[in-house]
Structure 1
Amino acid sequence: MLPNWLTEEYLQPRLRTYCKDDQLKVLKIWAKPATGKGENFVGVMTRIYVDYQLGDGSVQKKTFIVKQALPEDVPQAEVFFEYELYTREMDMYEFVLPKLKELLQEAGLDGKLTADAIAVDREYSTMILEDLAPYKFVNADRVKQLDLAHTKLTLEMLAKFHAASIILQQRHPELLTKCFFTHFFSRDKKAYSEVFTGLFRAFLRFINGQPNLKQTYGDKLEKLRTHIMEYGARVYDVGEGDLRTLNHGDCWTTNIMFQYDDAGDPQTVVAIDFQFSNCTSPTIDLHYFFTTSLKEEVRDKEPELVEHHYNALKANLEKFSYKGLFPTLEEYQLQFERRRFMSLMAHMFKPCMIYNGTEETSDFSSLYKDTTEGLRYQKSVYDSEAVIRSATKLLAILDGKGLLDLQ
């Protein structure tokens, strides 16, 4: 459904500005939902179809994506308002991303980073964005996860985003307002601690249902339970010698789109969904992406992947003639290592990200609340060989590094 305020009269001046055509005339608008049930917990996405006439008389038929904040009466909305997710994404599309695009072009790093914003409207908490489908950008399969080619391409895109944001911090620090220093584990916020403690409870129920895992890790995880928010916050803390960038903040399969060649190989990649973007170590984006989105055999190449991102980041910064602090590869690997606890926290979301069953939910709270629907949904997403394998491997790595012991 079209929001009632989204009329031809509303859209016309905004399209005129975007298309740089004062004679542009909107002829017709209609809409369809842009995402299926349960695909987007944070907002309402609608694809609008617009016929408009340009000043030269030619008629264009285009689609755009309208992204609206959840209505305030939806239970999970208060979580997102507390963390200023909507303000943050509007700031990203209106101010930050256009500036990053400009900086990348200046350094000769062309290629699309994300969809353009046609309009950002704070009164309605809405963004009208370019539709990437006509450019043949599509999502890879979140259940099958990403192979090495997709992974390396994504790391190169992140390295462009991170490099441009380091320059942005130097030249335009005023664009990175307070909301960009808020994250899942911010010590002065509350709502996500309910989310993560609930996700961790679901994880513990799963572990206790696996005799081997329970025997090996059950007690340690139980002791860890009351500390996860503080350990998560430490991961986001940036020390003196640490690299700090603007992170995507939610980099996983569904927030990345690829263009393919005729042979079906990925050629280009863009990121979407910037409501969790925040200023911290770029290695957090890596941990989150590696944990949630890679095929097992690709995940095993972790040192090579960290190095791939590091080299791309370094090469990009050289194009900007960057003179600031930059770690050696060894230091960067240590910065990545110090944030490994993030992989456990990212894994809390993984079961529903790779879920392929029939249990549907459109309510974000079903992921972490012990309601009847919540418990049924959690049991269903954890009932998977892929999740058992992934958790077994991850816990062995974390335990081997002493990260399941109290710090």
Structure 2
Amino acid sequence: MLPTWLTEEYLEPRLRTYYKDDQLKVLKIWAKPATEKGQNYMSLMTRIHVEYQLSDGLVQKTSYIVKQALSENVPQAKVFVEYDVYNREIYMYEFVLPKVKELLQEAGLKEKITADAIAVDREYSTMILEDLSEYNYVNADRVKQLDLAHTKLTLEMLAKFHAASIVLRQRHSEVLSKCFYTHFFSRDKQGYTEVYTGVFGAFLRFIDEQPDLKQNYGNKLEKLQSFIMEYVARTFEVNKEEELLTLIHGDCWTTNIMFQYDDAGNPKTAVAIDFQFSNCTSPAIDLHHFFTVSLREEFQDMEAELVDKYYSDLKANLEKLSYTGLFPSLQDFRLQFERRRFMTLLSHLFKPVIIYNGSEVTSDFSSLYKETEEGLRFQKSIHASEIVIRSSTRLLAILDGKGLLDLQ
């Protein structure tokens, strides 16, 4: 259903500006939801179809994605407002991503890395974006997760975005306002503490039902619960004298990446969507989150090789962008990546819902972390799979072996 304010009269001047055609006339608009129920907790997504006529008389039909902030009466909206996620994403699409695109194109890196913004509107907390399906971009299967080909394309896309963002900070630091230096684990923010401690509580209940995991890690995890926000906050801190600092995507996982395919069905390009959690920190944060929740089990042991590939791509892109600042050796970057290993535990807390394919559906974000009747039922359901057990077992063994389940 179209928002009441989204009329032909509203859209027409915005399309005229975007297409640089002051005679463009919008003939018709109709709409349908862009996501299924339970697939998006952060915003309202609508796909609008538009028929318009250009100044030369040619009639075009295309579609756009309208992304709106949640209304204030939705419970999770208060959490997101504290972190300014809606204004942050609007700012990304209006100012930052066009600059990133410009820098990449100047360096000869012309491949699309995200959708263009047709228009942004702060009054309605809304963006009208290109519909990437018009370019034959589609999402991969979040349940099956990504194979090696999809993973490498995603890393190549991230290496371009991160490289351009590093140069953006160097040449146009004023573009990155103070909002990009806050995140869900910022010590002066409290809203997301309930979310993460609640999701961690659901994870502890899952551990209690797994005898081997409970015996090996139960006591350590219970002691860890009250410290997780502080420990992750430390992973976001960057030593600017030694480590790379860039603008990261902030929520890089399967559903926030779209792919184009060749005629044989092989992925050939990747783009990112949803930049509401972008912030300035180590690029390793994006890598850890992506590997933890999106990489198929059979490729998890290739992490070191994939980190090296990302490093090589990032270095090559920075050279094309004529970057002149700090760039670490491969060994130093591996250390930078390893220092942020604790991030994988927090990312893993959301993996059960990300790969869930059962019948329990909820549009209430709080069902992920609150101990209500519906919440406990939903949390139990999403943890009830062999892949969650296997991935939890593997991750906890790695973290415990590195001493990261011990209090620091």
1:254-293 equivalent positions in 2, closer than 5 A = 254-293=255-294
Give the superposition deviation at 1:243: 0.4
Which residue identity is paired with 2:164?
A: A
Residue in structure 2 matched with residue 58 of structure 1 by the alignment: 58
TM-score of the superposition, structure 2-length normalised?
Answer: 0.99
Residue in structure 2 matched with residue 308 of structure 1 by the alignment: 309
Residue in structure 2 matched with residue 375 of structure 1 by the alignment: 376
Residue in structure 2 matched with residue 327 of structure 1 by the alignment: 328
**C-alpha distance in 2 between matches for 1:365 and 1:237:** 28
Give the superposition deviation at 1:110: 1.1
Residue in structure 2 matched with residue 132 of structure 1 by the alignment: 132
Residue in structure 2 matched with residue 118 of structure 1 by the alignment: 118
1:86-105 equivalent positions in 2, closer than 5 A = 86-105=86-105
Give the superposition deviation at 1:371: 0.8
Which residue identity is paired with 1:331?
A: D
**C-alpha distance in 1 between matches for 2:15 and 2:212:** 59
Give the superposition deviation at 1:316: 0.2
What are the superposed Cα offsets for residues 359-378 of structure 1, whole Å, 9 maximum, x if unpaired? 00001111011111110000
Q: Secondary structure at the match of 1:268?
A: strand
Give the superposition deviation at 1:174: 1.1
**C-alpha distance in 1 between matches for 2:4 and 2:399:** 51
- 2:191 pairs with 1:219: no
Residue in structure 2 matched with residue 296 of structure 1 by the alignment: 297
**C-alpha distance in 1 between matches for 2:270 and 2:73:** 36
Q: Secondary structure at the match of 1:170?
A: helix
What are the superposed Cα offsets for residues 158-195 of structure 1, whole Å, 9 maximum, x if unpaired? 00000000010011111111111111101000111100
Give the superposition deviation at 1:262: 1.2
Root mean square deviation, CA, Å: 0.5
Q: Secondary structure at the match of 1:317?
A: helix
Q: Secondary structure at the match of 2:75?
A: coil
What are the superposed Cα offsets for residues 115-155 of structure 1, whole Å, 9 maximum, x if unpaired? 11000000000000000112110000000000001000000
| Moved segments of 4+, more than 2 Å | none
**C-alpha distance in 1 between matches for 2:279 and 2:122:** 20
What are the ranges of 5 or more consecutive residues in structure 1 without an aligned counterpart?
Answer: none
1:61-76 equivalent positions in 2, closer than 5 A = 61-76=61-76
**C-alpha distance in 1 between matches for 2:257 and 2:300:** 17
**C-alpha distance in 1 between matches for 2:300 and 2:66:** 35
**C-alpha distance in 1 between matches for 2:34 and 2:270:** 20
Q: Secondary structure at the match of 1:325?
A: coil
Which residue identity is paired with 2:209?
A: G
**C-alpha distance in 2 between matches for 1:118 and 1:266:** 26
For this pair of structures, how many residues does the alignment match?
407
- 2:39 pairs with 1:39: yes
Residue in structure 1 matched with residue 354 of structure 2 by the alignment: 353
TM-score of the superposition, structure 1-length normalised?
Answer: 0.99
Give the superposition deviation at 1:27: 0.5
Residue in structure 1 matched with residue 150 of structure 2 by the alignment: 150
**C-alpha distance in 2 between matches for 1:322 and 1:297:** 36
Residue in structure 1 matched with residue 249 of structure 2 by the alignment: 248
Percent identity of equivalent pairs: 75
**C-alpha distance in 1 between matches for 2:354 and 2:291:** 13
Q: Secondary structure at the match of 2:138?
A: coil
Give the superposition deviation at 1:229: 0.5
**C-alpha distance in 1 between matches for 2:181 and 2:73:** 27
What are the superposed Cα offsets for residues 254-298 of structure 1, whole Å, 9 maximum, x if unpaired? 000000011111000100000000000000000000000000121
**C-alpha distance in 1 between matches for 2:175 and 2:207:** 44
